[in-house]
A and B are shown apart, each in its own frame.
Chain A
């Protein structure tokens, strides 16, 4: 970890982080405000007009009548997956691959800091900035829920849901980071890292549509964000979190080692 580099990275990237935070926050605020414990049926009847497959893809098929279930289905089937994912792809690529591609990595490496230290610093930035986006949204989300519908939100379940979603994003960010460390050209890193991340999301959206393709769940990390399980079982979130933490640690570790060992074209 190198503070100077961390600060420089923060300065170059905080704007993008803020943009995504506010963008997601907009969805969080709107969905909470739209919630009406009495007229949940109205929304459901409105949604019933849309094709069933589409509703399943976005996770709107079972919105539920309590605030926790409603938010979980409304936001964590798509919004909280796709926007952190896009953020991850953009920043993950910028942190290593772009510096290697345009040559500015040469300057970072001509300082007495090992490659491992540089890569760890950049990884810490990625992991902590995604965490910040989640924490701000969860914090404000809880605050708005409490002030508008005091007592309606199951805060423990809501946090568990966010933890699992965050850690799934962490695995995706690890994959993006790994390709960022692996390629000399940022467009290759973007194609592979972004491509795999996008496939994960597409599989997650398709798997619920029909039983025939439910096997897709074995090919996407986002199946860990199993809303029903998280909301009904108390042990599922803990178990899923530990598994996701393990997977992402391994991927990040591999990425850092790859960056340390490989030949750079700078």
Chain B
């Protein structure tokens, strides 16, 4: 019985362990043959510890996460406000339809060169692109959420003579909170991916750039350390957001 429970608990780790072991074996053989393109995972772990000790790890991680969070705050804030407006007024939604459909399909990475021209390298260009990328999903999901708010609640608001601002603040916003957090979870994932992508493609800061530099200076161990670290950070944040979203849904009495 207990051995069965142990196998059950270990099951998620079996495949990664096998893959890592294979990779370790293959990379060691490649390194023995004189390749400097790959490094075994054990060397990557060493490189990770080194980066953690000299502080470069935390600095770059902080930059990426901070920029992603701030960009998400801007994009999600604007997206939510506009989403509520378009959700409440059918007329506004119809008027904005073409503009939204024309701008939304522009891939966020296409704006990297433009942001480079406008802001130069640094925090602001990354913020702008993360905000652009998170704005659209938040806008559409919030709009859909507002359109599904119980119409009787809105009627009550109208009967009570609430102003448009009060209606949005006191009735709509509380009613869409569970869906808002689902949208935010998606936004967080998008923000992280876009932030790392911008750093890899252009911005000389953060985790993506650190990985790019490690590759260019032929330090495969450090590059793999960054790749693994980006994976771990992304996974942890996604799990945390899922928990948060479920907790909010439970608190609001909605089945998650």
Q: Are the chains A and B members of one assembly?
A: no
Binding site for B on A (CB under 8 A): none
